Amino acid sequence: MKRIVSTLAWKKTYLEIIDQTQLPLREKYLRLKTIDDVWGAIRFLKIRGAPAIGLAAAYGLLLAAKQFRGKPEEFIQYLSEKTLYLRECRPTARNLFYGLERVLKTAENSGDVLTAISRMERECARLVKEDLICSHRIGTHGLALIKNGMRILTHCNAGALATAGGGTALALFYAAKSAGREILVYVDETRPVLQGARLTCWELMKAEISHILICDNMAGYLMAQKKVDAVVVGADRICRNGDTANKIGTYPLAVLARYHRIPFYIAAPISTIDFSLENGGQIPIEERAAREIIQCGNSAIAPKSTRVYNPSFDVTPGTLITSFITEKGVLSLSEFKTFVCAHKTRR
């Protein structure tokens, strides 16, 4: 699968990322040299998407390790504190915690500081490689669901920019393109930060995949007109019962899809599953600043004193999800629950 963009790249002393807040107007790359740089980039959406922020956080911990100047016996405690710091920047996406856990565990199982840092660096590279493999496999497995001529609705950005470069939901579209299948993608603009309009359209244009941008509130009308054959979105955290947190606006799409008898698919790697949570009511939902809603860019679209409620994610019940498209295959809800039980037992 051809990579549309290199979302992030490790340069030995810094992490280079594409600044997603500048897209689609400018392709600007940033050098993140400290853990604070990484924290800010994640918090302020310069890098976003559950798999991508998990990778960025892992490299943020590595940067902190490389800048450690304390006593050797203080190293693991230092890393534990830095891990807690990074965990706070965005609370909903499971992959952020997964990446940090992997790298911290690697350090804990090492001997001296230099050995730990070397192993952490290799673990970060391994995470990136695994993410690219997952994207490819998600696309390959999901391709079985994509027929020539299909019209597919997607929400937010679950593409190359949300991963190491392969995508989750959009991985299906890239696989379809490689297989020579013609599809039409309807892209929700995704208020309030417009990740669909700014990022997904940008990616699909680069990939030369036919797409149409719509406002979020147009999806139901499209479905009523029988113009949507399937809905495919990504995920930020999936519970054991299949309840799934994704960008705000996903839940009503699932409800609409069920009413109109349209399949609704979640595309995500296994690392997005939170095996500690039974249901979606336990997922912490991030709330973001009011300015994201009362401003569009630098322009005010509501009075400054307007009261705002701005949850960044909503939760779709597993019962509304037709299938989960993962690197392990396409799983129905019952198959997903069986997989989770087996995996949890092995853990």
Active site residues: 236
For 117, other C-beta atoms within 10 Å of its C-beta total 18
Q: 324 is written with which tokens?
A: 């989960």
241: left (phi over 0), alpha (psi -120 to 50) or beta: alpha
The backbone torsions φ and ψ at residue 11, rounded to the nearest 5 degrees and listed phi first, read -115, 30
Q: 74 is written with which tokens?
A: 């203080």
Helices 113-142 and 50-66: angle between axes, nearest 10 degrees:
170
Q: Report the alpha-carbon distance of residue 281 to residue 219 in Å, rounded.
A: 26
Q: Report the alpha-carbon distance of residue 327 to residue 308 in Å, rounded.
A: 38
Tokens 């405690």 locate to: 77
Q: 174 is written with which tokens?
A: 């890239």
In Å, how far are 50, 91, 221, 272 from 317, measured between CA atoms? 19, 20, 22, 16
49: left (phi over 0), alpha (psi -120 to 50) or beta: left
Tokens 């990446």 locate to: 99
The candidate with the shortest Cα–Cα distance to 222, out of 259, 197, 247, 191, is 259
Q: Report the alpha-carbon distance of residue 169 to residue 179 in Å, rounded.
A: 16
DSSP-derived letter for residue 12 is: S
